[in-house]
Amino acid sequence: MPDQTAFTTFVSLVDVVDETAQNAQEFASIWGDVERELEDVGVHVEESYAVLGAVDFLVIFEAEDPDAAFQASLILERHGFDTQTME
């Protein structure tokens, strides 16, 4: 039987804090880079939604473990997003 790693679903509440990401075209270009970096650390984005209210986006992703989810938060923050991530 092949070795299968169980992935856990996480959600991140994301606020855009970098002014350059406020522009829709710039955000789209940044988001492509972010998704590639997330894939590099073993994180797969399932869904992402722009939302109204206290946060700007809801990102749902799968990761092997909490360490990978933490790495995802660091990647998002490095690109100008403030995150709160939950399992």
The pLDDT tens digits of the residues spanning 31-45 come to 888 999 999 999 999
Residues 2 and 49: their CA atoms lie apart, in Å, by: 34
Residues 18 and 44: their CA atoms lie apart, in Å, by: 23
**pTM over the 0.75 mark:** yes
Contact 51, 36 (CB under 8 A): no
- Whether the pLDDT of residue 3 is over 60: the answer is no
Mean pLDDT, residues 22-39: 81
**Confidence at residue 23, expressed as pLDDT on a 0 to 100 scale:** 61
